[in-house]
Amino acid sequence: MKSTETIIWQDWDLSQIINGEEIMSPSPQKPHQNASRNLQWTLENYVREWDLGAIWNAPFDVIFEEDYNRLQPDLIFVSKEKEDIVQDWIRGVPDMVVEIVSKSTIKMDTVVKKEIYERYGVQEYWLLKPEKRVLEIYVLNNGRYEMYASFGENDVVSSPLFCDLAFKLNIIF
């Protein structure tokens, strides 16, 4: 039996507004998707076990300023204390965001978005680099990001925000 129903994805938008400019992005490729799914699963289990809040995944807008900075991080953590910022989209500053870096997004993720998250006060910024099998965690200190740690694939990941979190990075790849 053939379906005649047409699916229209009007609400699915891979565009972001970054410093006032609309940026379109292609959908992520397999290494990115695998890493995103595995990291989300790991974080999701931890956050649920400890009843800390919620993990969200792209495409889901984080709106810092409506027509100036509307980003779609790969993964987003919003604590229970801030759950009121999760409305139709996230309207405010999440506790943590993850960007998964690819060759085509390296400058955007490591420079432009990092500066935006820092400016608005996102407490932790994670940069996951699947091609290098590395995770960098940055922590906000006096309004500036400082590297907390850089983890290789055989290292056990820890985070100041998630004090009991511990997993070997290689499970993400």
The pair of three-digit structure tokens given for residue 112, joined into one six-digit string: 């432009």
Q: What is the pLDDT of residue 111?
A: 92
Q: What is the pLDDT of residue 5?
A: 46
The pair of three-digit structure tokens given for residue 70, joined into one six-digit string: 């509307």
Q: Where are the beta strands (DSSP E) in the chain?
A: 15-18, 21-24, 53-57, 62-65, 69-71, 75-79, 90-91, 96-100, 124-129, 134-141, 144-152, 156-157, 167-168
Q: What is the pLDDT of residue 13?
A: 55
CB 31 within 8 A of CB 38: no
Q: What is the pLDDT of residue 168?
A: 98
Report the residue count for the chain.
173
All domains of the chain in start order, with CATH: 28-171 (3.90.1570.10)
Gap between the Cα atoms of 63 and 171, Å rounded: 31
CB 161 within 8 A of CB 124: yes
Query: What residues have CB less than 8 Å from 8, skipping those under 6 apart?
Result: none
Which residues does the chain have with pLDDT short of 70? 1-14, 25-27, 29
Q: What is the pLDDT of residue 21?
A: 72
pLDDT in tens, 63-97: 998 777 889 999 999 999 999 999 999 999 999 99
- What is the Rg, in whole angstroms, of the alpha carbon atoms belonging to the chain? 16
Q: What is the pTM of this model?
A: 0.86
**End-to-end Cα separation, the chain, in angstroms:** 39
The residue with tokens 């499970």 is 171
Q: What is the pLDDT of residue 27?
A: 66
Q: What is the pLDDT of residue 8?
A: 39
